[in-house]
């Protein structure tokens, strides 16, 4: 499977079956996602209203209650008005090109109870199988954040550790910019 996925750069596979060893997913997961038939991908980001840096019509949005959906729709429509709050959603749209910026749904939620964290929920589903049920994944992340911060405090540490891990890859050590 790993060689077929790696070799699929020059062709478009009709079927990708993910029952591979975790090492193959680590090495080829991004390539597999490029060809996956996702039916839906929804990314919800919730934080305290002070944690948003919104522009355009979203800047004027008011939170009438303790928990208010400020935006729900294609990520393409959100990114220009929440460029500092939509990076996770944009990354999801890039990672799932079968859906892209128009097919990935972004949801921005102002929640006054989230005074010290950002919450990100990612939900994806695939096509229905022979039993009528579909594959589904739901992840929930809570990132500690200072009040009013756009970026969670764990983000910097995760980014730094990712950079350090790149420098230790046996196949291509170092950081390579394109």
Q: pLDDT tens across 138-164, in order?
A: 889 888 877 766 676 666 677 677 777
Contacts (Cβ under 8 Å, ≥6 apart) of 143? 117, 118, 119, 120, 152, 153, 154, 155
Q: pLDDT tens across 81-122, in order?
A: 999 889 889 988 988 888 999 999 999 999 999 988 889 999
Return the SS3 of 89: helix
Return the SS3 of 141: strand
C-alpha to C-alpha distance for 53 and 40, rounded to whole angstroms: 27
For residue 176, tell me if it sits in a domain.
Answer: no
Contact 66, 57 (CB under 8 A): no
Total domains in the chain come to: 1
CATH code for the domain in which residue 68 is found: 3.30.360.10
Closest CA to 20 of 8, 32, 11, 36: 32
Q: Which domain holds residue 51?
A: 37-125+133-163
The whole-model pTM stands at 0.69
């Amino acid at each position: 499977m790993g060689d077929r996925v790696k070799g699929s750069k020059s062709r478009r596979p009709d079927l990708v079956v993910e029952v591979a060893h975790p090492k193959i997913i680590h090495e080829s997961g991004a390539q597999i996602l490029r060809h996956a038939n996702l039916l839906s991908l929804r990314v919800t980001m919730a934080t305290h209203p002070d944690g948003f840096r919104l522009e355009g019509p979203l800047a004027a949005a008011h939170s009438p209650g303790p928990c208010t959906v400020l935006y729900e729709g294609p990520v393409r429509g959100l990114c220009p008005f929440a460029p500092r709050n939509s990076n996770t959603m944009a990354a999801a749209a890039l990672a799932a090109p079968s859906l892209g910026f128009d097919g990935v749904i972004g949801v921005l939620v102002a929640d006054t109870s989230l005074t010290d964290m950002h919450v990100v929920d990612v939900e994806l589903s695939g096509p229905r199988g022979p039993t009528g049920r579909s594959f589904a994944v739901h992840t929930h992340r809570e990132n500690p954040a200072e009040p009013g911060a756009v970026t969670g405090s764990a983000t910097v540490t995760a980014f730094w550790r990712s950079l350090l891990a790149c420098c230790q890859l046996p196949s291509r050590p170092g950081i390579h910019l394109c």
